[in-house]
Amino acid sequence: MHRSRLPGLVFLALLVGIVWLVAPACGGGGGVKKIGGVRSELVALASDTVTGMAFAPDGRLFITEQNSGDIRVLTAEGQLLAEPFAHVEPARRLEWGVLGVAVDPDFETNHYVYIYFTRPAPGDSAKPILMRFKDVNNVGVDPKVLIEFPYLEPGLNPVDVGGGLHFGPDGNLYISIGDTDKPDLAQDLSSPYGKILRVTREGAPASDNPFADRAGADRRVYAYGFRNAFGFAIDPKSGRIYAADNGTGNCDELNLVEAGEDYGWPRSLTGGEVPCQNPDAKEPVYLYAKPGKEPQAISSNVAPTGVEFVSAQTYPALGDGLLVCEFVTKYMRRLQFAESAPDKVTDDSVVVEDCTVALAANRRGIVYYSNGVEIRRLAPQ
């Protein structure tokens, strides 16, 4: 049985300060690189681990607290409201809890806020839930369950349930959901687990999903073969989806997600190593590694979590790129891609050293992130 790495407080003791070793895409070593001229500042303190963040058009930030069950509001002025926006009673075990939040692209007219969490079920089990609230003056009303996913088996290791929620430019909601510690489900198209799903704002399958007409397939599936793509982001310019998938001790990946593609989980063990390249699946864009480790080496995992795009217009020192946070190292990495090749990483540098789970950018491009119960931001330049 592998050891889970996301994002419960039980694992915070594993986080240590270590030296950075940059590793080029899909292997190799490099020198130490950290971006200067970027300052992090504390915005607010939550009461529990912050797992998800999503901005409303008016500048408010909706956050999820993993174990308290609270969805809270940080005002545009930086005040974390004492009274929760909404509360649910989650199943609280390791990686279970309240995990993701999204704001409807038509929020200014419909005021919808969506959350993803694990609801307690009989026999020490749980059921992942997609729920929607309507915002009325910082209070969530009219709760509606949009999707009830299959029960997680009693006694199952309470890990790998994903939690990413983002609306795409097509107006559909994308959901990352892990394999729930049952690797074979990632290749089972009849199951939602180990997938990225694509649904309407009512939770129905998007009509043009790649497996909508395949007999026996879950019509919500957009892409498959993931272990636990906890965090992903959608490029506001191109609409491309980049997802960070967590391996088992190695093979932490960044994937460029495309409709109908297989991303290769599970992989078979070979001589104590797990090959990160799979000839029968779409190759990752990038492989992460712990400092001093090569990608694919055992125990090279960094547990990538939050993913968000950053703009040179707001942060000239960072330039245009993709930010990814790591639960194990606490690094926020800035990845840049070749201009003509969105699947080729040309630079990997450290921005800050205290990002553990969530990332979000507001309409001005200002980046906020979570560090346990802290909500911090990168000061605009």
pLDDT digits (tens, 9 = 90+) for 227-273: 999 999 999 999 999 999 998 878 899 999 999 999 999 875 444 45
Question: What confidence score (pLDDT) does residue 157 get?
Answer: 85
Q: What is the DSSP letter of 331?
A: -
Res 17: pLDDT: 32
Residue 32, pLDDT above cutoff 60: no
pLDDT confidence bin for 53, thresholds 50/70/90: very high
| pLDDT confidence of residue 33 | 84
Buried b (16+ CB within 10 A) or exposed e, 322-349: bbbbbbbbbbbbbbbbeeeeebebebbb
Name the β-bridge partners of 54.
Answer: 62
Q: Residue 133 is which amino acid?
A: F
User: pLDDT at position 275, please?
Assistant: 61
Stretch 348-369: mean pLDDT? 96
pLDDT tens-digit series, residues 110-140: 999 999 999 999 888 899 999 999 999 999 9
Place of tokens 């802290």: 374
Q: Both tokens of residue 255?
A: 């994937």
First to last CA, the chain: 46
3-state SS assignment for residue 302: coil
Q: How many CB atoms lie within 10 A of CB 57?
A: 12
Q: Is 43 helix (H, G, I), strand (E, B) or coil?
A: strand
What mean pLDDT, rounded, does the chain reach? 89
Q: Kindly tell me if the per-residue pLDDT of 18 is higher than 50.
A: no
Does 27 have pLDDT greater than 80?
Answer: no
Q: Is the pLDDT of residue 180 over 70?
A: yes
Task: Please state whether the peptide bond connecting residue 275 to the residue before it is cis, i.e. omega within 30 degrees of 0.
Answer: no
Range 366-381 average pLDDT: 95
pLDDT above 90: residue 218: yes
Chain centroid, CA 372 distance in Å: 15
pLDDT band at 156 (very low <50, low <70, confident <90, very high): confident
The confidence score (pLDDT) of residue 248 equals 83
Least confident of 27-31, 38-42, 276-280, 315-319: 27-31
Contact 40, 46 (CB under 8 A): no
Q: What is the mean pLDDT of residues 195-200?
A: 98
Type of residue at 177? I
Which range is least confidently modeled, 83-92, 269-278, 292-301? 269-278
- Whether the per-residue pLDDT at 3 is higher than 90: the answer is no
Angstrom distance (rounded) from CA 25 to CA 345: 6
pLDDT at residue 268, rounded to an integer:
57
What stretches of 92-138 adopt beta strand conformation (E)? 98-103, 112-121, 125-136
Single out the residue of 122, 107, 253, 248 nearest to residue 176, CA to CA: 253
pLDDT at 23 over 60: no
| pLDDT at position 135 | 98
The sign of the CA dihedral 304, 188, 27, 15 is positive
Question: What is the pTM (predicted TM-score) of this model?
Answer: 0.92
Residues 6+ apart with CB under 8 A from 297: 250, 273, 289
Residue 3 DSSP symbol: P
Q: Provide the 10 A C-beta neighbour count for residue 269.
A: 10
Is 360 in contact with 258 (CB distance < 8 Å)? Answer: no
- The predicted pLDDT at position 153 comes to 81
CB 331 within 8 A of CB 20: yes
Q: Answer yes or no: are the C-beta atoms of 223 and 260 closer than 8 Å.
A: yes
In whole angstroms, how far apart are CA 96 and each of 35, 70, 129, 180?
A: 34, 14, 11, 10
CB atoms within 10 A of CB 14: 11
- 88 pLDDT above the threshold of 50: yes
Q: What is the pLDDT of residue 291?
A: 82
Contact 33, 56 (CB under 8 A): no
Question: What whole-number distance in Å separates Cα of residue 96 and Cα of residue 300?
Answer: 24
CB 372 within 8 A of CB 356: yes
Q: Which domains does the chain possess?
A: 9-378 (2.120.10.30)
Laid out side by side, the sheet with 50-55 consists of 50-55, 61-65, 70-74, 86-87
